[in-house]
Chains A and B, each alone.
Chain A
């Protein structure tokens, strides 16, 4: 079955630096990959979707890459701010399906002022 790996350890970075989070997956070739943000005690909030035929996607200070050969996505936040502190979740659809998503455990980002 599909497996999603995110570094579950917290990532601490200084304000203004670029944060890079990694999502690896196995046993599977997804049609797309999503990134969500989750704040403590709240539901996930959709950020970006990248399709298998796209190498890179940007939205304001966010950038996502998708390497289907390495089976890896990188999520970058440039010029990070303390308000970016949250847990970031990688999410994949089921193989052959397009609705429900399977989430990784998430990486907790702490931006230090």
Chain B
């Protein structure tokens, strides 16, 4: 069964450093998302991506964040200068054309020290 994969599973970084979180969505899906979940809190939408551009972003997704689909398979989230409050689980998700159920990856745990 096809699945969304994410790397790394755990990323530890120093405050102010740049991080890139990587995702490989399901191959025939067209819509891609990043969500985050701070420990003990709800899963929060960050950004959606369709047709090689951002279709929607939340207030959380400020200028420190960017997304890219550099090739036909990878979908990345970059945080330019990490803050302590960026520590969270980051989930990538993808969605097929005409569908509503999103498929989530296993997540990347980001720890900012």
Could you tell me which A residues sit within 8 Å of B by CB distance?
A: 32, 34, 38, 41-46, 49, 89, 93, 97-106
Q: Are A46 and B33 in contact (CB under 8 A)?
A: no
Q: Which of A49, A89, A100, A104 contacts B33 (CB 8 A)?
A: A100
CB-based contact B101/A49 at 8 Å: yes
Residues of A within 8 A of B56 (CB): 97, 99-100
Among A44, A100, A102, residue most surrounded by chain B Cβ atoms (within 10 Å) = A100
Question: What DSSP secondary structure best describes chain A's contact surface?
Answer: loop
In chain B between 66 and 111, which residues have their CB closer than 8 angstroms to a CB of chain A? Answer: 89, 91, 93, 95, 100-107, 109
Q: How far is the CA of A105 from the CA of B101 in the complex (A)?
A: 18
Contacts of A45 in B (CB 8 A): 104
Which residue of chain A has the shortest Cβ distance to B31 in the bound complex? A99
Given contacts A46-B102, A99-B48, A99-B95, contact A41 B107 (CB under 8 A): yes
26 pairs across A/B with beta carbons < 8 Å? A32-B100, A34-B100, A34-B101, A38-B43, A41-B89, A43-B4, A43-B104, A43-B106, A43-B107, A44-B43, A46-B101, A46-B102, A49-B100, A89-B43, A98-B100, A99-B31, A99-B50, A99-B55, A99-B95, A100-B33, A100-B45, A101-B102, A102-B45, A103-B42, A103-B43, A105-B41
| B103 and A46 form a contact (CB under 8 A) | yes
Report chain A residues within 8 Å CB of B101.
Answer: 34, 46, 49
List B residues 17-34 near A (Cβ within 8 Å). Answer: 31, 33
